[in-house]
Structure 1
Amino acid sequence: MQPETEWRPRSEHPPQLFERAATFLQTPPKLSPDQWARQNRKYPASAGVPGQRDPSLTPYVIAFTQAVAESAAGRVVAVMGAQMGKTDSELDIVGHRLDQRPAPILWVGPTKEFLVDQQEPRILGLLEEAPRLSAKLQRGKRMKKTRKIVAGVPIRLAHAGSSSALKSDPAALAIVDEYDEMLANIKGQGDPLGLVEARGDTYADFVTVVTSTPSQGHIETEVDPVSGLEFWKPADPDAVKSPIWALFQQGTRYHWAWPCPHCGEYFIPRFSCLVVPKNATPAQARRGSYIQCPYGCVDPIEDHKHKAAMNARGRYVAPGQTIDRDGNVEGAPPDSSTISFWVSGLASPFRTWGQRAERYLTALGSGDDNEIQTAMNAGFGECYTLGGLGETPEWQEVLAKRVPYRLGDLPREVLRITAGVDVQKRSLVYVVRGFGARGSSWLLDFGQIYGPTAEQDVWDELETTLMTPIRGRMIDCVFVDSGFRPGKATAGDEHRVYEFALRFPRWVFATKGHDAQTTPLRPSKIEVLHNGKKAKSSLTLIHLDSDFFKSLVHSRVRMEIGRPGSFHLPLGAEDAGMMSGGVTEDYARQIVSEGRVINPANGKASWVKRFKDNHFLDCEAMAAAAGYMLRVHTIKESEQRSGEDAVQVVVEQPRPAPPPRQKQPDQQAQQAEPQETPRRPRDPWLSADGGGQRRKGWL
């Protein structure tokens, strides 16, 4: 047999090898991620919207993808609801980078199941559907579920539960998906975002993309004095439990704005803009919901008529910038190394406003806070405050209880006076409240005495404060909290409370709060001092149902001024051009610093934090409990003090309070006149031709 001397290629299809080689050698045209997606991505027939990929269907993601491609900042954050095209925009970013500037990519998800079941099939679909990527994809043994090689560089999938996977490879681009679902700490090795960003130290143009629907946080709005637009107000970090929202606040805070189809003015859509027919069922809400222009236009903004056109003309605007009716954005955004975007779930082309409203009302009807939170987070892209809807007042409602008198005055209706004292490690917080007919009450004094509560000085000052008569009238009963949580860093010493109560056994009572008990108030006897020896006389300890008395305070706040049981606060008076002798915003916020939540599984109530400090709420609850022990709710309306010390309070219409941020869906937005705004320097990211277009296409 004659040996073969002629070389023959192993492949039976040598032309394909040359085609693939040609793909590698071609210089791709310079494209933005959205342009690349239009040319290279195509959805299968089984997709919800089959055919060629069209990023303009979700125009609010285009600026986000272009900011990443330009490496405009080291971190780019996007906050939005569910079913808004977020994952597809991330795939556009990945495909664009692998084709245009191949470099290692790290994609991080919250769990292994999330990556393997949801993200890996979509990433593989991207690599197979785009011809330019498919030709560069290495198959066979080198292709794994969590690692693909494209154009000679890896794209690795990792989950937040594996710190070793997060630290395994360097990367030029990292995508952190559904950040709020990730573990706050990975095996004691820090936040997953910190581990991810450490992978990019060797790349000068490294970018971290962080996306998620938000979770919990008490977020309010504020009107920008420059543009008149209503933006999300940066919240106290302690009031924000949503990690993605905390990152958004640290960044440029771009908000997606729409032009009203009736007046042409731009506004920022959010949950409070949604209007649902009054007393509508979820099904009726699906058919009849619409958006109301915040500038007072009478005609409704309708989903099927207006949303697509408003999205097409939508623009991102940051605080400090202005936007005219033509969509031209002027002014520089806030200076930050993080570019952050927020867009309302109302902008989604895949869900109608009626569907969003239907889901919200269904969740509201269930009474399950988890369902309500999901409806707010996923449906509207907004944070949710536990206890924030329903029974819990807003701080503006507290300030609305101000009537014309000052701290230290004694309204003639006051017949009993109580005080509540909250004990901290380094201070004592107190309120003094006067009660009249059927439990109506007036705040007479409040404050905070600073000093280590393990020392005697601060207790002596408290004694002086409580022993000082108010217009000749002494305090009838004082409740002092001794129910500290073990291990709490700011907790005081309960034995100091017992010692103080023993000094005034008929006037001062130590208390312990309980989540629930059979009666609102239950006394008991204790006989132990801090040194372990028996006391000469027993001490009365009052056990309180915290749920009952905190709920009582909030119900009194909701009570209309003038009705029995109503809750009054001092307005104060003008002194040297300033208001003094009244309550502060901090006091009002503390009164609503906790919200009542019912667990649908067992029907039990719990109180969750909305704001950092809750001392005045605790004090008011104890003052109310002391009043309850004195039976102030049985005082007859005919009883009233007289004399020179009595101050007559003329109850006028209470001062109107600014509306709370979160409204029920059947409420219309507050109307506001558009303000004349001064011209601002043009955004440096805008082109100089006056067309209002961002350089390189984004924003």
Structure 2
Amino acid sequence: MVNMSDRGIGPIARVPPLPPFVTADEILRDSLPLLDPPSRISVTDAAERYLKVPAQGNWVTYDREVAPYTVEPQDMTQSRRFKAVCFVGPSQSGKSQMLLSTALHSVLCAPGPVQIIHMTKTDGDAWVEEKLDPAIANSPDWRERLGTAREDSTFQRKRFKGMRLAIGYPVANQLSSRTQRLVMLTDYDHMPQRLGPKDSPEGSPFGMALLRIRQYMSRGCVLVESTPAFPVNDTSEWVASAAHPHMMPPATAGIVNIYNEGTRGRWYWECPDCSDLYEPTFARLHYDPELEPAEAGAAAQMQCPHCGSLLSHRHKTELNRAALSGRGGWLHESRFLDETGRCILVRIHDERIRSTPTASYALNGAAATFAPWYELVQRYETERRRFERDHDDTDFAKVFYTDIGVSYRRPGDEDESGLTLDGLLESACDLERMQCPPWTRFIVLSVDAQGSWFAVSATAFGVDGRRMIIDRFDLRDAPDHARRAKDAEGRARALDPGRYAEDADVLTPLLAREYRVAGEEWSIKPCAMVIDFNGPAGWSDNAEKYWRARRREGLGDRVFLSIGRGGFRVPDRVWLATPERGSKGKRARSIKLLNMAVDRLKDSVLAALGHGADGPGAMLVARHIERDHINELLSEKRTDDGYEKRPGVARNEMLDLAVQALAVAEHKGINRLNPEAPPDWAVGGLGNPFAVAFAHEEPAPSRAAEPTHPVPSGIKFLRRP
């Protein structure tokens, strides 16, 4: 007889009991929302009835008067007349709240499949965790519709009774082979504008989203919102016209072009003094631009273009609410002109509105609820002055995109500003070799490593930001102590810095070069030398060895290794940091590299060259520098993605060397210098530690004529009497 052990019964007994069976009527009750017809209630009304929003640490009922300009756009997502709704506006204006309000309406009032596309998967997960999940948890009616199974609430999907809400990101498979009643695209201009393989793109996210709602016919809708992020397309032939007063300058891509294809709605206020309507824009803010940014912002007022009356910021909330009640609000372009040739502006439900399937809206940052005028003016004036000083408009453009909510038009590139070789040669300065201008406070050497030579330039800087390229030469011969420095006939071999580490030693004597200050009795040595870390194969390792050798000699604070970072979206201009990772899986280096946003710095270099005359912030060239080297400053052209070489151009070292010199000057703090109390390396005169006085030869003292005496015939004191 075999005895069976019952040891396994214990674990089985600890399994929790199964849930009770669900009855047919319970299944039917959960399925009834699928049969519920859409409620005749607007998105805004549903939000006020069901949605809770955070406010000052509490969850309160949604209030349409907080951001009244979002009422009409979100309500139009339920319109049978329009297939798409486009909203262009500044950041923090309530655009994201429209997503929650519209999503809630699709759950409780008009069940149907909804998809929300974010910039990236990470941004989508953050939105679910920080916005969607808390809103559901604090809105009882919304929370009651959410499924109770584990897979009903994830970062990628929310299953409600009667509908599903999908959260995705802009890739082709997310917007393909799916049927949705509503697709919402958020931060559209930060998405890839072409989806699918590079050689055969499938289309834009907006175009592909329109295909997903086709099966729902007039009930389908695409909601797209974003701040602008693409510059004005200067190649377009657009001009402002009274026949199209709301049309924005066409951009190179993005949501502005979608807006221009729609009804072109703008938000209007009614002037309390003259009762005329006008659009509140940043351009109509009245302030003194000569004041400090904070003072100018505090005094900013909105000026009516009809009667000239001024309104302080405290009236903004009142005027926005009045616009919601009919004294202003959204006005769209119509198909008709008045007797003066101006476009007639109409409401959204007017039959004369432009014939287009897209209801489009553009909100200026001056009318946004969460954008105080003093902050707008302060940021604008701060970045404008920084742009005038550094000639780098990256941060200035952000003010237009994120704060004002319009596309940015560049003042003009180097061709438009007349920057040509003849112009540079004409403005070149007469200066002797090995000499620097009288305003020089410090000199920076720049080195670009090539396959068989070092390209070197010397740039003199003044305390007011002016600078001049005073020297340019190439080093081609290996140092005498290098391996195989000379052949059998005594001829020096060419430099090979990638193969021979000791070849870099030809750079060390450059730190001792002295440049005479014009009109002064002293000269000055370079305070720093910056060397390109990238170069021929093997150079990076040898460059690190060279820097470590100089550090052991006490020159580590005067020698920098630089590395370029391309693109205009690099957050900083110059920063000194250790690499986070090595290339090709190698271990990261333990040295600090001078990182340069090269495209932003090239903007500054070319803008400074465009001054054409000596003065603060100008960049000049010494006349003795060769013509071909000066022409290298114009070797590249600006594109939307960065600078690239012009067709047929082979060498661009001079431009790269100028960028390196500016990077070192900014790293040392030239933009923060106090001319009244500069650091010692920027002091004028012999108080500068890099200044050297001329060595004057003392004249030999003249010997006075000695008196002549007769030569004695003998030694008389030896004679005895």
TM-score by length of 1: 0.51
Match of residue 232 from structure 1: 247
Say which of 93, 108, 116 aligns to 1:84: 93
**Letter paired with 2:95:** K
Partner secondary structure for residue 81 of structure 2: coil
Code of the aligned partner of 2:294 = A
Give distance in 1, aligned partners of 2:137 and 2:25.
Answer: 20
CA RMSD of aligned residues (A): 5.1
Deviation (angstroms), 1:521: 13
Q: Does 1:384 align with 2:408?
A: yes
Residue in structure 2 matching 1:255, options 266, 287, 295: 266
User: Which structure would you say has the larger Rg?
Assistant: 2
Maintained 8 Å contact 1:23/1:132: no
3-state SS in 1 of match to 2:185: strand
Distance 2:378 2:177 in 1: 45
Q: Is the 8 A contact 1:127 1:133 kept in 2?
A: yes
Q: Give 2:172's aligned residue.
A: 163
Q: Deviations over 1:106-153 (max 9, x none)?
A: 110111111001245422334333333322211222222111111232
- The match for 1:360 is 380
Percent of aligned positions that are identical: 19
Task: Name the structure 2 match of 1:178.
Answer: 187
For residues 353 and 394 of structure 1, the distance between their equivalents in structure 2, rounded to whole angstroms, comes to 36
Matched, 1:264 2:264: no
Distance 1:110 1:51 in 2: 29
Query: Which of 182, 189, 195 matches 2:208?
Result: 195
What are the residue-to-residue correspondences of 1:250-329 with 2, within 5 Å?
250-295=261-306, 297-313=307-323, 314-320=328-334, 329=347
Change (3 A) 1:370 1:179: same
One-letter amino acid of the structure 2 residue matched with residue 173 of structure 1? L
Partner Cα separation in structure 1 for residue 52 and residue 213 of structure 2: 31
Kept in 1, the 8 Å contact 2:228–2:255? The answer is yes
**AA matched with 1:382:** V
Find the residue that maps to 2:231 and give its secondary structure. coil
Alignment partner, residue 62 of structure 1:
71
> What SS is found at the alignment partner of 1:203?
helix
- State the shift of 1:26 in Å: 6.8
On the 8 A contact 2:34/2:111 being kept in 1, the answer is no
Aligned residue in 2 for 1:34: 44
Q: Distance in 2 between matches of 1:289 and 1:269?
A: 13
For 1:393 and 1:371, the matched residues in 2 are separated by: 19
Alpha-carbon separation, structure 2, partners of 1:312 and 1:151: 39
CA distance in 2, matches of 1:284, 1:156: 48
**Which position in structure 2 is the counterpart of 1:103?**
112
- Change beyond 3 A, Cα 1:551–1:244: same
Asked if 1:340 corresponds to 2:354, the answer is: no
Q: Which moved more, 1:132-141 or 1:327-336?
A: 327-336
Which of 36, 53, 64 aligns to 1:43? It is 53
Could you tell me which amino acid in structure 2 is paired with residue 232 of structure 1?
Answer: M
1:57 match: secondary structure = coil
Secondary structure class of the residue paired with 2:310: coil
For residues 73-126 of structure 1, give each alpha carbon's deviation from its aligned partner in whole angstroms, at most 9, with x where no partner exists.
222111011111111112111111222221111110111111001245422334
Deviates more, 1:354-363 or 1:205-214: 354-363
Q: In 2 relative to 1, CA 521–265 (structure 1 residues): closer, same or farther, beyond 3 Å?
A: farther
Shift of 1:291: 1.5
Q: Are residues 551 and 11 of structure 1, via their aligned partners in 2, closer, same or farther at CA, if it must alter by over 3 Å?
A: same
| Pair 1:115 & 2:146 matched | no
Q: What CA deviation, in whole Å up to 9, does each residue of 1:35-68 have, x standing for no partner? A: 11010112246558x4110123212111111211
**What is the letter of the counterpart of residue 193 of structure 2?**
A
Q: How does 1:261-660 map to 2 (within 5 A)?
A: 261-295=272-306, 297-313=307-323, 314-320=328-334, 329=347, 332-367=352-387, 368-385=392-409, 387-388=410-411, 608=638
Q: Distance in 2 between matches of 1:548 and 1:34?
A: 48
Task: Say whether the 8 Å CA contact 1:258–1:315 is kept in structure 2.
Answer: yes
Q: Give the match for residue 525 of structure 1.
A: none
Aligned 8 A contact 2:88 2:255 in 1: yes
Alignment partners' CA distance in 2, 1:22 and 1:104 = 16
Which structure 1 residue ranges, 5 or more long, are not aligned? 1-7, 399-419, 422-431, 439-515, 523-545, 558-597, 599-603, 611-699
Q: Which amino acid aligns with 2:293?
A: P
1:350 aligned partner, one-letter code: F
1:263 Cα deviation from its structure 2 partner: 1.8
Cα distance in 1 between the residues matched to 2:74 and 2:208: 23
Deviation at 1:605, TM superposition (A): 12
User: What SS does structure 1 have at the residue aligned with 2:115?
Assistant: strand
**8 Å contact from structure 1 (residues 219, 232) kept in 2:** no
2:148 corresponds to which of 122, 139, 164? 139
Q: Is the 8 A contact 2:44 2:74 kept in 1?
A: yes
| Residues 281 and 203 of structure 1, relative CA distance in 2, 3 Å threshold | same
Secondary structure of the structure 1 residue equivalent to 2:86: strand
Report the 3-state secondary structure (helix = DSSP H, G, I; strand = E; otherwise coil) of the residue aligned with 1:214.
Answer: coil
What's the offset of the Cα at 1:11? 9.4
Q: 1:153 to 1:55 in 2, by over 3 A?
A: same
Query: SS at 1:78's partner residue?
Result: strand
* SS at structure 1 position matched to 2:44: helix
Tell me the CA shift for residue 519 of structure 1: 8.9
Deviation at 1:293, TM superposition (A): 1.7
Aligned to 1:183, the other structure's residue is in SS state coil
In the aligned structure 1, how far is the partner of 2:164 from the partner of 2:37? 20
Alpha-carbon separation, structure 1, partners of 2:603 and 2:231: 22
Q: CA–CA distance in 1 between the matches of 2:101 and 2:605?
A: 55
Partner Cα separation in structure 1 for residue 56 and residue 321 of structure 2: 26
Q: Are the equivalent residues in 2 in contact too, given 1:242–1:383 (CA < 8 A)? A: no
- 1:369 deviates by 2.4
TM-score by length of 2: 0.50
Residue type at the aligned position of 1:211: E
Residue 218 in structure 1 maps to residue 227 in structure 2: no
Distance 1:120 1:269, change over 3 A: same
Partner of 2:616: none
The structure whose RCO (Cα within 8 Å, separation 6+) is larger is: 1
Shift of residue 520, structure 1, vs aligned partner: 13
| 2:88–2:361 CA contact under 8 A, matched in 1 | yes
> In the aligned structure 2, how far is the partner of 1:365 from the partner of 1:549?
17
Q: CA deviation at 1:33?
A: 0.3
Aligned to 2:597: none
Q: Counterpart in 1 of 2:158?
A: 148
Match of 1:243 among 254, 262, 267: 254
